[in-house]
């Protein structure tokens, strides 16, 4: 098994991205800057952040060179979730950074007094509720471009100090008296004063560059995301500072739309949707340097699999030798694959464990399929392998000696890529022989690479047309008894790869919106921006929700919207409607089904079949179907 945590071990070739970001940070002409390290959930963002942290800390501690460019670098690392539970994320972020500077092993002693005074200023502003009031929004324009942003977001400029009236008199009085009694420094009169004091503190210290790494910001709520980004821009954007934000850009963008939805609607000149340009302009003011991490290619996935297997089965010293050779090869040719032959060459004379040889062989054969199905996502690749080895162990414990690893992997790939087709495969399996008759029609014959044809489509097999590559991949399954394989997959791969606790943040964000009272319509539009695997995760959550609470119309609306956008989820909608007792289904759902049935789409056809199947029903749901159909 492999840990699902971030790591500084570069097994998938992302060191080059960390090095590039580090070079940007060390270029004084670029600073101050906020750098967005963008990527999908599990795409390697956290590993990049860990590499940067380790690199800067290691280099800053090096003293064996005459000139060490990292000597004056102070690195602070925060997880975005750290600020999620605070009533004022801006104050929490500022306080955390100042506290970390006070406690810094190398620079703390020289900063402690100045940072302590700034901490008191933060407490003062927090008591006045300035950090999350109109005082902050009024300062956004000045900090991010003045008139330009003011024109884009007029609402951000209203009520410069209106938030002060929200604080209780006792809280303000206590804050003022506490501050006055502890320091002679005057409380900050505005945001600019705090920023000047912060810049002065850094300028008079031995810190040449302050690097703040903030990871997992996309796991926070929309309000917390914007508060943190605005705090960086308004209070901390001073010379020689670099803020590196690890997040899914879609989540950050959704947060901007959500936070300023009223202002955006007012600025849309009567359009139904907020202007894309307005949101992008605002986002560019907050994050000046966006950097998108690429997905892994098939050759990179095969290299990643090779190194994961080596890490599992080799002794640490042998594994390090393999890693070093892989890095050297990648530096010479970024497009080559580090595979089994390379491992054998590196470890010439060493007898490889049989499990390693077998795993490397499997990895070479499944790399392309894994890349296609898991979309080059490092975390999903690792979790897929963990799920595979769990099932492999289950087969061993159950003494299923005939289970072949390559067959199991191929079935699991279908289960992940097309769960509905996997269910049909299971339903079509002969209980006595374990054979699936439709596979004989679908898979290529030995003499030709056959694909799904028109005649096959007439037999109802056209839904397999997008799985041709999977069907052609060895081993072919038509002549294989699949009963043992179906037995070990009873835990359902979807729950293993997309369990609620590991749902991608962008899916959680969309789910929250579609179930909310105010953001449900916007959330349903955002379903279109999701990738197929993310939509699949969303559908699983929605299906589970409506099965527990059939009266939840917002969940049903989201299911319908997903099926309308992506027809492969049409059957999921029909299946859950068929499973739930009709007495529990809300009549409002019947209205939506009748409306959808009027469209000449796959969803419309399925909705019509639901109407036809309930013509004799006595439930309120069935009666509404008949009434509305008229």
Q: Which two tokens stand for residue 483?
A: 């009963």
Instruction: Say what the pLDDT of residue 63 is.
Output: 54
DSSP 163-185: GGGGS-HHHHHHHHHHHHHH--S
How far, in Å, CA of 268 to CA of 263, rounded? 9
| DSSP character at residue 147 | H
Phi then psi dihedrals of residue 486, to 5 deg: -70, -30
Ranking 321-330, 366-375, 486-495, 603-612 by mean pLDDT, the lowest is: 486-495
Give the pLDDT of residue 154.
Answer: 36
> Would you state the pLDDT for residue 333?
80
Helix (H) or strand (E) holding 65: none
* pLDDT at residue 559, as a whole number: 92
Q: For residue 144, what pLDDT is reported?
A: 44
Please say if the pLDDT value at position 456 is more than 80.
Answer: no
Q: Please, what sign has the CA dihedral across residues 134, 138, 139, 145?
A: positive
Establish how many alpha carbons lie within 13 A of residue 131's alpha carbon, considering only the half-sphere containing its beta carbon: 29
Query: pLDDT digits over 305-318, tens only?
Result: 888 888 888 888 88
495 Cβ contact list (under 8 Å, min separation 6): 540
- DSSP per residue, 240-252: TEEEEEEE-HHHH
Pairing of strands 241-247, 33-38: parallel
Tens of pLDDT, residues 359-384: 888 777 777 777 777 777 778 888 88
Angstrom distance (rounded) from CA 581 to CA 302: 47
Please give the Cα distance from 83 to 228 (Å, whole number).
8
Residue 171 corresponds to which tokens in the numbers above? 């809280």
Residue 122 CA to residue 143 CA, distance in Å, equals 18
Give the integer Cα–Cα distance in Å for 95 and 12.
36
Other CB atoms within 10 A of residue 72 CB: 16
Question: What number of CA atoms fall less than 13 Å from residue 159's CA on the CB side?
Answer: 10
Inter-residue contact 84 to 117 (CB < 8 Å): no
- Check if the beta carbon of residue 11 is closer than 8 Å to that of residue 308: yes
Per-residue pLDDT, averaged over 514-519, amounts to 83
567-578 per-residue burial string, b: 16 or more CB within 10 A, e: under 16: ebbbbbbbebbe
More confident residue, 263 or 215: 215
**pLDDT in the model for residue 3:** 55
Rounded to whole angstroms, the Cα distance separating 515 from 608 reads 26
Residue 168 has pLDDT above 50, yes or no: no
Q: Which residue has the higher pLDDT, 168 or 112?
A: 112
Confidence (pLDDT) at 349: 79
pLDDT at 160: 31
Contact 244, 532 (CB under 8 A): no
pLDDT at 494: 46
**Phi first, then psi: what are they for 311, rounded to 5°?**
-65, -35
Q: Which residue has better confidence, 304 or 70?
A: 304
Over the stretch 97-133, which tens digit does the pLDDT of each residue have?
Answer: 888 888 888 887 778 888 888 888 887 777 665 444 4
Give domain limits for the chain: 35-275, 503-629
Q: Among 180-184, 417-421, 501-505, name the one with the lowest average pLDDT.
A: 180-184
What is the mean predicted confidence (pLDDT) over 278-286?
A: 81
Query: How high is the pLDDT of residue 572?
Result: 84
DSSP 3-state of 79: strand
Q: State the pLDDT at residue 520.
A: 82
* Phi and psi angles of residue 292, each rounded to the nearest 5 degrees, phi first: -95, 125
- What are the backbone angles phi and psi of residue 77, rounded to the nearest 5°? -120, 130
pLDDT digits (tens, 9 = 90+) for 336-366: 888 778 888 888 878 878 888 888 887 777 7
Instruction: Please state the three-class secondary structure of 252-263 as a single string.
Output: HHHHHHHHCHHH
453 beta partners: none
Return all residues near 441 (Cβ < 8 A) that are at least 6 apart.
456, 459, 461
């Amino acid at each position: 098994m492999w840990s699902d945590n971030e790591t500084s071990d570069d097994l998938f070739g992302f060191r080059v991205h960390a090095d590039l970001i580090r070079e940007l940070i060390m270029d004084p002409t670029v600073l101050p800057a906020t750098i967005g390290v963008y990527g999908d959930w599990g795409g390697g963002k956290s590993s990049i952040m860990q590499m940067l942290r380790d690199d800067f800390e290691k280099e800053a501690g090096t003293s064996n060179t005459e000139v060490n460019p990292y000597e004056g670098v102070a690195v602070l690392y925060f997880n975005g979730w750290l600020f999620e539970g605070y009533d004022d994320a801006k104050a929490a972020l500022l306080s955390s950074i100042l506290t970390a500077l006070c406690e810094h092993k190398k620079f703390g002693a020289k900063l402690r007094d100045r940072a302590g005074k700034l901490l008191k200023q933060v407490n003062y502003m927090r008591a006045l509720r300035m950090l999350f009031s109109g005082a902050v929004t009024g300062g956004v324009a000045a900090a991010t471009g003045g008139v330009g942003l003011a024109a884009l977001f007029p609402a951000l400029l209203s009520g410069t100090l209106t938030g002060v009236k929200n604080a209780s008199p006792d809280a303000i009085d206590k804050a003022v008296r506490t501050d006055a009694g502890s320091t002679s420094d005057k409380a900050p009169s505005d945001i600019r004063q705090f920023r000047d004091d912060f810049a002065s503190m850094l300028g008079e210290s031995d810190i040449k560059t302050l690097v703040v790494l903030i990871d997992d910001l996309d796991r926070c709520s929309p309000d917390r995301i914007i508060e943190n980004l605005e705090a960086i821009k308004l209070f901390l954007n001073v010379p020689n500072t670099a803020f590196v934000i690890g997040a899914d850009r879609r989540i950050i963008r959704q947060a901007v739309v959500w936070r300023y939805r009223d202002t955006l609607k007012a600025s849309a000149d009567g359009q139904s949707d907020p202007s894309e340009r307005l949101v992008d302009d605002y986002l560019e003011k907050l994050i000046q340097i966006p950097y998108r991490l690429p997905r892994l290619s098939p050759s990179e996935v095969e290299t990643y699999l090779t190194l994961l297997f080596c890490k599992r089965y080799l002794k640490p010293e042998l594994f390090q030798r393999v890693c070093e050779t892989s890095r050297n090869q990648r530096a010479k040719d970024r497009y080559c694959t580090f595979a089994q032959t390379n491992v054998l060459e590196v470890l010439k004379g060493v007898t490889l464990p049989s499990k390693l040889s077998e795993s490397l062989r499997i990895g070479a054969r499944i790399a392309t399929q894994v890349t296609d199905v898991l979309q080059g996502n490092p975390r999903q690749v690792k979790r897929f392998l963990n799920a595979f080895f769990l099932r492999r162990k289950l087969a061993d414990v159950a003494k299923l000696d005939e289970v072949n690893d390559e067959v199991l992997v191929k079935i699991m790939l279908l289960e992940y890529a097309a769960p509905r087709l996997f269910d049909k495969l299971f339903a079509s399996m002969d209980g006595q022989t374990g054979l699936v008759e439709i596979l004989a029609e679908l898979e290529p014959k030995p003499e030709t690479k056959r694909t799904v044809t028109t005649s096959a489509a007439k037999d109802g097999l056209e839904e397999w047309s997008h799985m041709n590559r999977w069907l052609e991949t060895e081993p072919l399954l038509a002549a294989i008894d699949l009963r043992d394989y179906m037995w070990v997959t009873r835990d359902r791969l979807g729950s293993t790869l997309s369990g609620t606790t590991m749902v991608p943040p962008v899916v959680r964000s969309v789910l929250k919106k579609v179930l909310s009272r105010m953001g449900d319509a916007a959330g349903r539009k955002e379903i279109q921006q999701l990738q197929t695997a993310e939509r699949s995760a969303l559908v699983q959550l929605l299906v589970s929700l409506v099965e527990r609470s059939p009266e939840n119309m917002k969940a049903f609306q989201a299911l319908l919207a997903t099926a309308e956008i992506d027809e492969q989820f049409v059957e999921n909608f029909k299946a859950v409607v068929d499973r739930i007792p009709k007495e529990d289904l809300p009549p409002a759902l019947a209205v939506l089904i009748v409306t959808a049935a009027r469209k000449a789409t796959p969803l419309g056809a399925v909705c019509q079949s639901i109407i036809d199947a309930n013509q004799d029903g006595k439930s309120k749901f069935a009666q509404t179907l008949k009434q509305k159909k008229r």
